[in-house]
Structure 1
Amino acid sequence: MADSTPPWWKEANIYQIYPASFQDSNGDGIGDLPGILSRIDYIKDSGADAIWICPTYDSPQHDMGYDISDYESVYPPYGTVEDMEAIIAACHKRGMKVLLDLVINHTSNEHAWFKESRSSKDNPKRDWYFWRPPRYDSQGNRKPPNNWGAFSGGSAWEWDEGTQEYYLHLFCPEQPDLNWDNSETRKAIYQTSMHFWLQKGVDGFRIDTVNLYSKVPGLPDAEITNETSEYQWPRDVVCNGPRIHEFLSEMYNVFAQYGAIMTVGELGPDSDILSYVSASAKQLNMAIQFDLVNVGFAPGISTRYEVSPEDSWTLSKLASAVAAIQGSLANSDGWVTTYLENHDQARSISRWGSDLTEESRVQTAKLLAMLQATLSGTLLLYQGQEIGMVNAPKDWPIEEYKDILSVEFYKAIGARTGGDPKALACAFAALQSLARDHARIPMSWDGSRNAGFTQGKPWMRIHDNYALVNVQNQLSDEHSVRSFWKKILQVRKEHADVLVHGIYKAVQDEDLNVFIYEKHGSRRKAVVALNFSGAEQPCQVMHSSEAAKGTYMSTYGDVVEGRLRPYEGRLWIGPS
């Protein structure tokens, strides 16, 4: 995947911001754009070359801003368009780039387009969304047009009493799907969601659910993959549809008008990755793939949390997922991303390491930092990951979980089992491990009231460990998680040929405790050994004699010959 003159985004470290939980500037308990602006220097000092901001568009907030009512306005509690322009200017002044979230599979049901669309069957915008008459069963009961299920559970169709038809929503009922087959709809999408912000200097987009825009004509029933449900996630008829590459080529031509714009698509499973991200295809620069972050989930969309946490992952599964991503585009003109956390994932330390003690938390955080920073592709770092934030404490009740997916899942299990305590306890245990809520706990900046996040009542509970795990405690501590992240990101920059662009080769990926791999660049190679256990493990692949020939690095700071300490990672970079 090496490139003699790579575009800026290939070697960039991108820092992701979840606005509601990053920094509140006015005491209303909700993070905002002025809060982000006040932390730009911190982000720059952390080693970031760009920021990616999750949706800040105007929204009723049924799904934390992914239900957009106006692409050209900012959600008032977050600030104004002028505040976003100030962030763009501040980042550019510091040599940093700005990416926004592009959410264009659906809008809010409060968007002006949808209000027009649902006003009557003959409205000019009726075809901008998917409307269908009901079906009826043999007893004459009204049924949705097909068996499609929504991401959040239940039918993907919502009945509209006014026009006596159903509309499609692959996500929440408040998020009706746009009809991309309508050329006028696409033109409006491009103008309001892309041109508007590109003209203000935005440098790229993370594109939400990028393989869902083209549905199979006729909207046929989905394959039955969940016998226990009346409704099925329609993967086979909504993902990677017949016109998807045509639509993405159109979008590429919009972006091309603005120079070196970065596009990273959220690409669901079962996609031909290269067909989307091949440079010659001219569609997307790269994709966010799910192989690794899905380790630990149960198969399926509506059933993903139906898993026993103690059986949720193994090191061999994690290593296989890493190999799948790293090998998917080797020796091609495509590109990948490397990430362990984002707004849709629980904290990686709690998932794949140990947060039981302060020592294990710190060592796991450094271990995972070494893993991520030595994988090829564009690096995405999520807020709080750089200080080792972890999942919510186990004693938090279900009422502290705010995410609509968590709420609906827990509610569905209760309804399915008649409120069986054992079933609800299993469901809650899965949420304690895997829920999206954990990534949305407000950022811990210092040990003051509300962790320095807000002077008011935070919209979501502050983590109980904020007095210990916060930014201020780590800024001047050379042994802190944040200091290690800064160090490993600098090593990644200095050895980009092998760490960013290198070819991955598994060495030991089936051991119960130790994960070892090589990276091969144009002039050098790297060897990485990672102990995913809380006990010492033998490790003979790297010796001190090799250190003299190159760079030798341990997450502990020093090297013990022949073994790896608990949650230790070790990296050697030298000549091929």
Structure 2
Amino acid sequence: MFWPKIVRTLVATALLSCAAAIPAQQLVNGYEPKWWKEAVVYQVYPRSFKDSNGDGIGDLAGITSKLDYLQKLGVNVIWLSPHFDSPNVDGGYDIRDYRKVMAEFGTMSDFDTLLAGIKQRHMRLIIDLVVNHTSDENKWFVESRSSKTNPYRDFYIWRPGHTAPDGTRTPPNNYPSYFSGPAWTLDPKTNEYYLHYFTVHQPDLNWENPKVREDVYSIMRFWLDRGVDGFRMDVIPLVSKPTGMPDLTAEQLKDPPNAYANGPHLAEYLREMNREVLSKYDTMTVGEATGTTLAQTDSLVGDGRHELDMVFNFDAALLRHPDFGPPGLAPWSLPALKAIYDSHAVVLTKHDWDTVFLSNHDSPRVVSTFGDDSPAMRVSSAKLLETMILTLRGTPFLYEGDELGMTNYPFKQLADYSDIAVKNAYKAEVETGKISAASFLADQAKLTRDNARTPMQWDSSPEAGFTTGTHPWLAVNPNYRQINAAQEESDPASVLNYVRTLIKLRAHTLAFVYGDYQDLDPQNEKIYAYTRTLGEKKYLVIENFSSGPVTYTLPNGLKAATLLLSDIPASHEENASTLNLAPWESRIYKQ
């Protein structure tokens, strides 16, 4: 990769916090500076990151052993996916005890050691807050289902359903589950249905009960007092249920998340949460805004509302695969992707904050979805995608392995999968004859959440250095001998070393945080060209989203001035209006 002098100088300079140089009360381009706006967040999925004891399951001690790696990468916030005690029906998002660590991951002492190691390296930790639902093994639900008069009965949502003259029972309404089938299950103990937007083992909490909210706030204080810096809030727009919960219309059934989300009391609950808990700590909060449109974002993150700091809007990440509907990878176009980011720049004001991401624990690998993961193009396209994520508006979120350009796994048969969503969908789609097994499995290989959950590829030793055991919980991608952190560490042109340099450049360039954004050529089908401008400082980003070379003339007589960073060593073009871009090449210029 080409590292011009200015970038080499930045790399050699000790990383300083941009926020430390800005008085808290001084606005930057109309934005109020915050540490979480200037952060680069790295998501760790504990089960798949690093196994320290050879049992084939990633754990907290394994994460601690890799903190130097994360510090060298340059990220300054770690988002830890659920580490709580759980039966693990849905990858830890079914929580049995919010105040205990999952035994497979270690102990509370291991958590404290991890947290101390993060703080020692001047990084921060946010954890998942999963409070739309619990595990059905949670003590609250065990009590709730025991009788209709139990004090915990109203912690969950119970309904009698409908009884036909012949005695047949049907659910209270036609709500579908995210994971196939109805969102209601009849419990024989009390002969009533309970609501579960997700699996039958994840009953939804009843947030209308103030005792539920009080217990949730107590859990939040428990972890904040322990030293965590905030929360990623799982499906938080779903906690307020639709008034009366009537049947969904035919139109609503095409996209149930929009019907489920942003119920009548959501703002009330979030403001109460902020008032009772968050306002008393220096936190970062990001909501998983399933079912929330861009136009609704301000109602969650407006800085005068005192609710959340930011949310994940999934318009870009789900451009190729919707939350609901039959499996399949939809075609996409670069103008469509650019239109999403362009609309964010128009709709979100200086009082709203955005996030930038294309991957997480629920998505297939970004380079396999939006790039070209062929051996010839994988490295360049992975670099390009990270260039985009780290230079667009909002706090960037990277998922473990993105910095290596990890790819989708070559899934072949149903037995290869761990994902409960795949197994449930197989029953609903294949076993009922709606789709052939071959077609279903071909689609799922591109879409499954398991693509993101295969073990981290650390080196070329057996099982990619993830475990010293022989049976990791999910198979390691066979390409680990070619794609792994040890190999990329020693390769100056690797994705890993490029991302390290890119993060350092962003840390020293406030325009990539608070600068204005302008898309220079929205309809171009191959080139994404945009500027980030802060006062007199302007930066130009050029990205060739194609597997062929492109000669591109900048619009409006603009010239590319000083080249700061390119992933192609031969890219030395400066002060030129016409650029010759290699396949999947990305460049950053200072204007």
Q: TM-score, normalised by structure 2?
A: 0.90
Shift of 1:425: 2.6
Aligned to 2:429: 413
In structure 2, do the counterparts of structure 1 residues 269 and 538 end up closer, same or farther at CA, with 3 Å as the change threshold? farther
Q: Number of matched residues? A: 556
In structure 2, do the counterparts of structure 1 residues 383 and 144 end up closer, same or farther at CA, with 3 Å as the change threshold? same
Counterpart amino acid of residue 52 in structure 2 = S
Which is worse superposed, 403-412 or 556-565?
556-565
CA distance in 1, matches of 2:258, 2:365: 30
1:411 aligns to what SS in structure 2?
A: helix
Q: How does 1:12-161 map to 2 (within 5 A)?
A: 12-137=39-164, 139-161=166-188
CA distance in 2, matches of 1:7, 1:302: 35
Aligned to 1:207: 233
Which is worse superposed, 29-38 or 5-14?
5-14
Aligned to 1:312: 331
Counterpart amino acid of residue 235 in structure 2 = T
Equivalent position to 2:443, from 420, 423, 430 = 430
Aligned to 1:500: 513
Shift of 1:140: 3.9
CA distance in 2, matches of 1:541, 1:356: 29
CA distance in 2, matches of 1:109, 1:476: 47
In structure 2, do the counterparts of structure 1 residues 12 and 66 end up closer, same or farther at CA, with 3 Å as the change threshold? same
Aligned to 1:267: 289
8 Å contact from structure 1 (residues 100, 205) kept in 2: yes
CA distance in 2, matches of 1:528, 1:566: 15
8 Å contact from structure 1 (residues 222, 232) kept in 2: no
Deviations along 1:113-141, whole A, 9 cap, x unmatched? 01111110011111110000020346542
CA distance in 1, matches of 2:570, 2:523: 26
The alignment yields a C-alpha RMSD, in angstroms, of: 2.1
Aligned to 2:400: 383
CA distance in 2, matches of 1:545, 1:238: 47
Aligned to 1:557: 569
CA distance in 2, matches of 1:256, 1:328: 26
In structure 2, do the counterparts of structure 1 residues 4 and 213 end up closer, same or farther at CA, with 3 Å as the change threshold? closer
Equivalent position to 1:349, from 357, 363, 367 = 367
Deviations along 1:15-35, whole A, 9 cap, x unmatched? 110000000000110000000
Q: TM-score, normalised by structure 1?
A: 0.92
Shift of 1:554: 1.8
1:318 aligns to what SS in structure 2?
A: helix
8 Å contact from structure 1 (residues 148, 233) kept in 2: no
Which is worse superposed, 117-126 or 256-265?
256-265
CA distance in 2, matches of 1:542, 1:495: 24
1:454 paired with 2:461, answer no
1:572 paired with 2:589, answer yes
8 Å contact from structure 2 (residues 383, 567) kept in 1: yes
Counterpart amino acid of residue 515 in structure 2 = G
Aligned to 2:33: 6
In structure 2, do the counterparts of structure 1 residues 268 and 328 end up closer, same or farther at CA, with 3 Å as the change threshold? farther
Counterpart amino acid of residue 278 in structure 1 = G
CA distance in 2, matches of 1:232, 1:469: 39
CA distance in 2, matches of 1:415, 1:541: 54
Aligned to 1:248: 270
Counterpart amino acid of residue 530 in structure 1 = E
Shift of 1:427: 2.2
1:465 aligns to what SS in structure 2?
A: helix
Counterpart amino acid of residue 325 in structure 1 = H
Shift of 1:397: 2.8
Equivalent position to 1:540, from 543, 549, 553 = 553
Which is worse superposed, 267-276 or 465-474?
267-276
Equivalent position to 1:323, from 338, 342, 361 = 342
8 Å contact from structure 2 (residues 258, 291) kept in 1: no
8 Å contact from structure 1 (residues 327, 504) kept in 2: no
Deviations along 1:318-349, whole A, 9 cap, x unmatched? 222222334331x3311011112110111111
CA distance in 2, matches of 1:184, 1:270: 27
Where do 5+ consecutive residues of structure 2 fail to align? 1-27, 574-578
1:528 paired with 2:576, answer no
Equivalent position to 1:511, from 524, 529, 532 = 524
CA distance in 2, matches of 1:149, 1:79: 36
8 Å contact from structure 2 (residues 74, 504) kept in 1: yes
8 Å contact from structure 1 (residues 32, 79) kept in 2: yes
CA distance in 2, matches of 1:16, 1:557: 30
Where do 5+ consecutive residues of structure 1 fail to align? none
Shift of 1:36: 0.6
Q: Give me the identity figure in percent.
A: 39
Deviations along 1:418-437, whole A, 9 cap, x unmatched? 6x5xx333322221222211
8 Å contact from structure 2 (residues 31, 350) kept in 1: no
